[in-house]
Amino acid sequence: MKEEIQRKVISVFAVNEQGVLARIAGLFAGRGYNIETMTVAPVPDSVYSRFTIETRGNKKTIEQIIKQLNKLIPVLKVIDSSDIIEKETVLVKFSADNNLSDIDVLCKVYNGRIMNVNENSVVAVVVDEPNRIANFLKIIKKYSPKEIVRGGVVSMER
């Protein structure tokens, strides 16, 4: 029963209390599930946090992940819709020796811009779909980025 591995973005709403992150992360670790990225922040005006988890697995594994998450007592609901908008933020630091306008143009193509420049380096921010972020990171290789910080995926149902 070899099945296709798929990528899935899941949103988990859980009570914002001590240890919830450990419960969720522990569940993934203990049962051998993957976490590719995870972002967490409180849901405004509520007692809940929203965990956006990017994971991989076959259909059965993804189903189990969702059920096991739902089984955690502090978890209110798990959203696994595929009709979602996804965004990821990435910060990149280049050497100031690079051609600034090249980098600026490139960032703009990927919904970004240069945020900060000093005598040593240029920092750019880009916010785009995760697959486009991956492309962006491939393309900027030739500018030898000094540091890259990816923010993890956030998502919202349409």
Partner 1 sequence: MNMTGSKIVIESLINEGVDIVFGYPGGAIMNVYDELYKQDTITHILNRHEQACVISANGYARVSGKVGVAVVTSGPGFTNALTGIADAYMDSIPVVIISGQVPLPLVGTDGFQEIDAIGISRPCTKHNFLVKDVRDLARILKEAFYIARSGRPGPVLVDIPKDISSHHTRFHYPDTVNLPTYKPTVKGNIKQVKKLSKAISEAKKPLIYVGGGAVRSGATDEIRKLLELTHIPAVETLMARGILGFDNPLSMGMLGMHGTYSANMAMSETDLIISIGARFDDRVTGNLNTFGKNAKIAHIDIDPASIAKLVEVDYPIVGDVKVVVQDLIDVLEEDFHQGKFFSWNEELQKYKAEHPLEYEDSDEVLKPQWVIETLGEKWGDDIVLSTDVGQHQMWAAQFYPFRHPDDWLSSSGLGTMGFGLPAAIGAKVAKMDRISVNVSGDGSILMNIHEIMTASQYGIPVINVILNNAYLGMVRQWQSFFYDERFSQTNLEYRADFTKIAEGFGGIGYKVKTKQEFIDAMSDAIAQNKTAIIDVDIHRKEDVLPMVPAGASLNEMILFKDTNKPKDK
Binding site for partner 1 (CB under 8 A): 1, 14-15, 18-19, 22-23, 26, 30, 60, 63-64, 67-68, 70-71, 73-76
Distance, CA of 147 to chain centre: 18
Positive or negative, the CA dihedral 128, 134, 135, 136 is positive
Least separation, in Å, of the C-beta of 51 and partner 1?
14
Q: How many CB atoms lie within 10 A of CB 27?
A: 16
Q: Between 43 and 109, name the residue whose CB sits nearer to partner 1.
A: 43
Q: Between 74 and 151, name the residue whose CB sits nearer to partner 1.
A: 74
| Cβ contacts of 136 within 8 Å, gap of 6 or more | 90, 106, 110, 112, 126, 128
**Alpha-helical segments (H) within the chain:** 20-30, 59-71, 100-109, 130-139
Least separation, in Å, of the C-beta of 40 and partner 1?
16
Q: Between 48 and 94, name the residue whose CB sits nearer to partner 1.
A: 48
Helix (H, G, I), strand (E, B) or coil at 133: helix
Least separation, in Å, of the C-beta of 8 and partner 1?
17
Q: Between 13 and 152, name the residue whose CB sits nearer to partner 1.
A: 13
Least separation, in Å, of the C-beta of 157 and partner 1?
20
